[in-house]
Amino acid sequence: MSAVVDSNIFRNNRLKAGLDPDHIPQHIAVIMDGNGRWAKQQGFMTRVRGHEVGVEALRKITTAAAELGLGFLTVYAFSTENWNRPKAEVDALMNILMTALEKELPTLMNNNVRLKAIGNVDSLPEKANKKLMSVITATSKNDGLTLTLALSYGSQDEMVQAVRKIATEVANGALAPEDISEAHIENSLFTAGMPSPDLMIRTSGEQRISNYLLWQLAYAELYFTPILWPDFDAQGLYDAIAAFQKRERRFGQTSEQLTDK
């Protein structure tokens, strides 16, 4: 499909969603929270069913984001702190990850989505890590939406690793301390090469960042919704983007400076 046809389709989809087609965030970050509470609310015996239905919600949101022509969608799937959950839940989550990677490849291909991962993916079970790498490779030529899974991800840990990298360069004499710049730090994070998120959505009513993209969210608009992740759908995404479109992003300037331009 030509880029022109593509952009007309995206424009129509944005209008259909009730959005300003010229003011779509380039990068949305999501904290997919509330799976456990959803399972409890539905009367399931374990939290696992919430995680399973959570995968379906992610499929819906990824498809909706691809249809809007969004550039980047980065989702928090498993934090460094989540390793501290009961072993049965961690094991179930790793199995769900494996199954989802196996099952979702056709959807990713159909929607021209490129999969990426950030975090300590080496600490995932070997089979899951291998499957992840194979889907990343299989989708690497897709040039639509980039879907990034934050897996075994923690922002403070990411910063520690970045500092180590930079400190090594300094110790080797390749870099002078006074030459360390914001760009250096950015390029040493897992998200190197990605634009910063414009909008961060957290579901389930919690209003915290939980060690997610602390550097990258510096100027993101934050959107919190009480909807539990398994219930989050395309309309939820459109509502979040509509709320984003009403915000004024000032980046330290005054409102007058922005409107006088």
79 binds, among Mg ion, ligand IPE, none (CB under 5 to 8 A by kind): ligand IPE
Residue 236 binds: one of ligand IPE, Mg ion, none (C-beta under 5 to 8 A by kind) = none
**Which residue number, 16 or 208, has a Cβ lying nearer to Mg ion?**
208
Give start and end residues of each alpha helix (H) in the chain: 3-16, 35-41, 48-68, 87-110, 126-138, 155-171, 182-188, 234-246, 255-260
Q: Which residues of 214-239 are buried (b: 16+ CB within 10 A; e: fewer)?
A: eebbeebbebbbebbbbbbeeebbbb
- Mark whether 82 is an active-site residue: yes
Q: Which amino acid is at 246?
A: K
Distance in angstroms (rounded) separating the CA atoms of residues 33 and 30:
9
* Residues 234, 75: Cα–Cα separation, whole Å: 15
Q: Select 19 or 32, whichever has its Cβ closest to Mg ion.
A: 32
33 an active-site residue?
yes
Residue sitting closest to ligand IPE (CB):
36
Q: Which is nearer to ligand IPE, 122 or 178 (CB)?
A: 122
Interaction mask 23-62, ligand IPE, x per CB under 6 A = --------xxxxxxx---------x---------------
Containing 146, the helix (H) or strand (E) segment is strand 146-153
How many residues in the shown chain lie near ligand IPE by CB under 6 A?
Answer: 18
- Cα 89 to Cα 79: distance, rounded to the nearest angstrom: 13
Which of 13, 82, 95, 211 is labelled catalytic?
82
Q: Map the footprint of Mg ion across residues 30-49, applying CB under 5 A.
A: 33
Q: Report in angstroms how near the CB of residue 168 gets to Mg ion at its nearest.
A: 35
63 binds, among Mg ion, ligand IPE, none (CB under 5 to 8 A by kind): none
What residues numbered 93-112 form the site for ligand IPE, per CB under 6 A? 93
Q: Is 232 helix (H, G, I), strand (E, B) or coil?
A: coil
Does position 210 bind ligand IPE by CB under 6 A? Answer: yes
Phi-psi label, residue 53: left if phi above 0, alpha if psi -120 to 50, beta otherwise: alpha
CA–CA dist 9, 190 (Å, integer): 32
Binders in 66-85 for ligand IPE, by CB under 6 A: 76-79, 82
* Owner of token pair 């990605």: 194
As annotated, the active-site residues are 33, 82
Interface with Mg ion by CB under 5 A: which residues? 33
Interface with ligand IPE by CB under 6 A: which residues? 31-37, 47, 76-79, 82, 93, 204, 206, 208, 210
